Structure 1
Amino acid sequence: MRTKTILLAATFATALAAAPAQAQAQTVRAESVRGHVSYLAGETLRGRGSATPDEAMAAAYVASVFRGIGLQTAPGMQGYTQPIDIVSTRLNGTPTLAANGSPVAAPLLFASSGESIRGKLAVFAGTDPKQVPAADVVIATDKSVNPLAFAGGVDPAKTKLVIIRKTAAVTDYYARIGGAPRLPRAFKDAPARPRITVVALDDAAFDALAAQDGAEVALDVPVVVQPMVTTNAIGFLPGTDPKAGVLLISAHLDHLGVRPDGQVMYGANDDASGTAAVLELAAALSAAKRMRRGILFVAYGSEEAGGFGARWFVDHPPVPLTDIVANLELEMIGAQDPKLPAGTMMMTGYERSTFGETLKAHGALVTADPYPEQNFFRRSDNYALALKGVVAHTVSGWATIPSYHTPDDTVANLDIPFMARAIQSLVAPLRSLANSDSRPEWKEGGKPSE
C-alpha cells in the first residue's frame, strides 16, 4: 500500500509539472503553489516526520516534480533522491527519576543522551551555565533564568544531567517539539558526541529535590536504537558555462510527523511552504533560456531532527562547495510578518553579506530580519553551508508565527497569494545572478565560525 501511494504521488507530481511549459515560464501561479502545499501538508503525508516513510514520500514527490519539469540529476548522482542512513534512539518505556532511592514525581524528560544516569546532586544557584561546576547531576534553582536556555549552555563534558523547573514556557516548548523528548540521532557509524540530558519537574518536586544537595540521583531511561533513513531530493539545471559556478536554492521537506498522542503536525508553513517555493522557482527558472550558471534545487530531509540532510549534503556535495556562488534557503514563507513592510520577506543575517542587497536591487521582496535576538541565521539549513564559507541565508515570511510547531500549522492558515507574489519576486533576481559574473560576498565579520 505504501509503495502504491508513493507511485500515485509521483504520478500526480509529474502531471502537475507537465503543464505547458510556456504557461509556467517566469510565472508563479497561486493555484500551483496551493497544489504543492496541499499535498505536502495534507493527510496522506501525516506531517512528514523526519526519517520516516512519510518523509520519503515527500522526497519522491519533489523528485518527480524535478523530473517532470526537465531538471537533470545532479553531477555524480544516478537519481533525484539521496538516501542517508542514520541511527535513532527511541523510548522503550517510561523514564523514572529517584533521589536517595525515593521516586521523584512526574519527571518530564525533555532531552536525553540516551543513557541512564547515576550521580550526586549539585545545587547551582547561579545564572551563568558556564559557571556550573563539574558534577554528574545539577539542579538549577535561579528563577530569573530561562530554564531551557540555561540547560543548553551547560558543558556536556562536565555535566550529564541538568534538572530544571517545569515552567509554562518549558511545557509549551515541549509541545512545540512534538510532545516527545529529544533523543540522539546520528549518521550511521558516526562517533558519539557528548549530550546533555534535561529533566523538568513540577514546583513541588523541584523544590523538594533542590533541598537535597548531595543526594544520590538515579535517572533510568529505557531506550532502543534503530536504523532509519532520511532523504534529500536534488535536481540540477545546468548552466552554459561550467566554470561560472552554481546557485543553490533549498528548503527542508520534513516536519514533526505524528505526536505520541496521535495528533498530526502538518507543517504547512514549516516547511511545505518553502519546499513549494523551491518547486515553483525550479519550474520558472527552467522554463526559459538557459543561464550562464547552473542551479541546484535541493529539499533536505531531517532538518527538524538535527539538520541531517543539509549536513550530509555539505559533506557529500555533488559539486565542490567552492563552486556554490550562494545559497538561498526558503523557510516558513506562508504568511506575512506584521513587523515587515507589506508583501516582503525577511532574510536572516541580511547584514552579514551582500546577497540580500543584490537580490533586493533586482526586485526581490526581501529585507532585514527584525528579530536578531532570535539568532534565526543559525537555526536553518543555510547555516551548515555558511560554516563552510558559502554565502548562505534563509528568507522567511513570518518566522515567529503563532502556529509555529503546533497542530494549527495547516494549509488553511497559509496566505497563498502572499506566497505566490513573494516567490515571483525572486525569479528575476535569481536569473540575473545566474547570468552575472559577480558573486555575493561576506562583509567584514559576517562569515560565521563554530
Structure 2
Amino acid sequence: MSVKRLLRLFGVWAGLCAPLAAQVTPAILRADLEEHVRFLASDELAGRKAGSPESVAVAHYLAEALAECGLEPAGDDKSFLQLVPFQRERYSALPELRLLAAQERNATHGADFVVRQGSPGGEVQVVLVRVAEDLPDEADAETCLCFVAVHRSRARSWLRKAGFSHGRGFGLVLSPARRESPANPEPPAVGRLHLPPQTQETSVAWLEYGEEFGALIVAAVEEEGRASLAFDLHWELQPRPSFNVVGRLPGVASAARPELAREAVVISAHHDHLGIRAIPGAGETADTIFNGADDDASGVACVLELAAACAAGPAPARELIFLLATAEEIGIVGTTYYLDHPSTPLEETVLNLNFEMLGRPDESIGGSGNLWLTGGARTNLLAAFEEAKLDIFDDPHPQQNFFQRSDNIVFVRRGIVGQTLSSYNLHKDYHTPRDDADSLDYAHLEAATKVAFEALSLVATGSLDPIWLPGQQPGQRR
C-alpha cells in the first residue's frame, strides 16, 4: 500500500509528507529528517499508540520507506512487517457477581466489588485464604481463592511463590479493597494490550471486594461449611495488531575476515508513542495529543536516514538489520517480541545500536550535533568512538539510568552488546503534548545523524568488534 493511499485513509494532509525521493543518495539531509518527523508527529496520527489504527498506518509508511531505501524485507512472509499480535481486554456490560449460599446476594459493581483482572465468568466454590499455608496444593478452575485481610500485592506474592502466578489455574481470585467500599460505580476501563501468552496467563478473574460483601462470603463459608459464587464479567478479548518494521542489508565480508558476513548489527528505534490522553486539571481546549516528536520520531527519522545512506554506499561487511519497533512505551514489548522471533539468529547478532530522542541538543555535552552513549563504561564502543574523534560522549545523566530504560536493554538481557545513542537534555516536554514537531532542532538532528552514521560505519565495516569490558556484562538470559 502506498504512502499516499495511507494518508488518504487517515485524513492526513497531502502536503504533510511529500513522496520519498526516487533516487536515494548517501547524503543525510535535514529536509528528509524533518519530513519524516512531521509525518510521524502529526496530529492526524493521534500519538501513534501501539495497537491503534494510526500505529498500523505508521508501520506501512515505514515499510514503504525502507523498501524505497533498497533494503530487503526481514519481517513476516517476505515483507517488512512483523506482526505483534496484541489483544485488548474489553468489558461489554457491567460485571455481575452473586453469592450462592443460604442467604443469596447479588453484589453491586462499584459498591461491593470491582474488577482488577478479567475473564469470562463461571461458578466457583470459595476457599478462604488467611495465610499462605491455606493455599491448595493444586489449582482448580472451579475454585475461588478468597483472601481474607490480605491485600492484592501480598496475595500476588503468595501465589507466585506457590507456583500460581496471577492466580493461574483457579477460576476466580478475591482480595479485600483497601477501603470499606471500592467506591467505583463505573464499568472497568478497557484493559492494557497483551500478547496471547500473557493474556492466557493473566486471564483469571481477580476482584476486590468491599468490607460488607466480604463479611457475607466469610460468614457463609464458616457457618454453612461452603459457599459458591457465580460471576459474569462480560469480558472479551479483541485483536489489536501492531507491527515491528524490519529491513535487512546483507553483509559482504572481506577475504581477510569472511566470518563478518555471518554477523549482524541491529539498528533500532521505536515508532510508537502515548496516543491521546486526558490531562487532569486541563481545560476542554487543552491539547491532548502526545505527538512524540522527540520521543521517538526523531530516532525513527535518524534510522531511516541511516538505512538510506548505508544502502546507497558500499556494501557493509556485517549484515545490518534495521528494526523500527512498536510498543516500547508499554514495556519494550515490540523489541522483546523481535528477540523472540529474530530475523537473524541471536547468536549471530553482535550489537544493538539503538536511537532514542535525538531531536534537541544537550548543552551538557557541547550542544548541536553531539550525542551521548548509554553504558559507556560497559563496552569498548565509547573508547573507539573517542579514538575516531566522533562527537559522542559518555552519558551525562547516569542518575536517570537510561541504559536500562530503552530498547537496547532487552538485547543486553540476552547477552548481546546493546547501547543507545541520544541527545536528550532532560527537557520538560518529555511525555507531554508539547513534544511536537515544531519543538525540534532539525539542524542538530541532521548533524547528529551524520555522527551516528560514522559510528555505525565503524561496526558495519568490521573496523570495530563490539565487546563487553571485563566485569561489565549484566546477567544473561537465553
Structure 2 length-normalised TM? 0.69
| Paired position in structure 1 for 2:243 | 231
Instruction: Kindly indicate whether residue 252 of structure 2 is the aligned counterpart of residue 240 of structure 1.
Output: yes
- Note the C-alpha offset of 1:437: 5.4
Q: For 1:287 and 1:250, how far apart are their aligned partners in 2?
A: 19
- Structure 1 residue identity aligned to 2:436: T
Contact 2:88 2:190 in 1 (8 A): no
Pick from 435, 452, 455: which aligns with 1:429? 455
Return the letter of the residue paired with 1:354: N
Shift in CA distance, 229/340, structure 1 to aligned 2, threshold 3 Å: same
Deviation for aligned residue 1:8: 5.7
Matched, 1:352 2:378: yes
| Letter aligned with residue 236 of structure 1 | R
For residues 344-399 of structure 1, the C-alpha deviation after alignment (integer angstroms, 9 at most, x for no partner) is 33322222222233334334433223333433222222122111111111222216
Q: What is the alpha-carbon distance in structure 2 between the residues aligned to residue 223 and residue 395 of structure 1?
A: 42
1:308 maps to 2:326: no
User: Retained in 2: the 8 A contact 1:13–1:61?
Assistant: no
* Secondary structure of the corresponding residue to residue 266 of structure 2: strand
CA drift of 1:68 comes to 0.9
How far did 1:5 drift? 4.0
- Residue 413 of structure 2 corresponds to residue 387 of structure 1: yes
Is 1:416 the counterpart of 2:434? The answer is no
Deviations 1:224-254 (A, max 9, x none): 4211211011111112127311211011111
Shift, 1:90, TM fit = 4.0
User: 1:403–1:448: structure 2 CA closer, same or farther, 3 Å change rule?
Assistant: farther
Aligned residue identity for 2:85:
D
Aligned to 1:185: 194
- SS state at 2:73 partner: coil
2:467 is aligned with 1:441: yes
**C-alpha distance 102-78 of structure 1, shift in aligned 2 (>3 A):** closer
Change (3 A) 1:139 1:253: same
Unpaired stretches in structure 1, ≥5 consecutive residues: 123-133, 141-149, 166-179, 200-207
Q: How does 1:89-128 map to 2 (within 5 A)?
A: 89-90=89-90, 112-114=116-118
- When the two chains are superposed, the root-mean-square deviation of aligned CA atoms in Å is 4.6
Distance 1:246 1:51 in 2: 29
Number of the residue aligned with 2:272: 254
Report the Cα distance in structure 2 between the residues aligned to 1:8 and 1:364, rounded to whole angstroms.
42
Please tell me the residue identity of whatever aligns with 2:259.
K
Change (3 A) 1:114 1:429: same
Deviation at 1:286, TM superposition (A): 1.8
Alpha-carbon distance, 1:301 to partner:
1.4
Offset of residue 43 of structure 1: 2.3
Measured after TM superposition, the shift of residue 274 of structure 1 is 0.9
Q: Counterparts of 2:413 and 2:176 in 1: how far apart (Å)?
A: 29
* 1:273 and 1:331 in contact (8 A); partners too: yes
What secondary structure, in the 3-state scheme, does the structure 2 residue paired with 1:243 have?
Answer: helix
Query: Does 1:287 find its partner at 2:322?
Result: no
Structure with the greater alpha carbon radius of gyration = 2
Cα separation, partners in 2 of 1:222 and 1:420, compared to 1, 3 Å:
farther
TM-score by length of structure 1 reads 0.73
Q: 1:135 to 1:58 in 2, by over 3 A?
A: same
Partners of 1:214 and 1:121 lie apart in 2 by 14
Identify the residue that residue 169 of structure 1 maps to in structure 2: none
Structure 1, residues 372-428: CA drift from partner, whole Å, max 9, x if none? Answer: 343322222212211111111122221643122211111111122221111110112
Residues 62 and 102 of structure 1: CA distance in aligned 2, closer, same or farther (over 3 Å): closer
Amino acid at match of 2:79: G
Q: 1:182 to 1:357 in 2, by over 3 A?
A: farther
Q: Give the C-alpha shift of residue 4 in structure 1.
A: 7.0
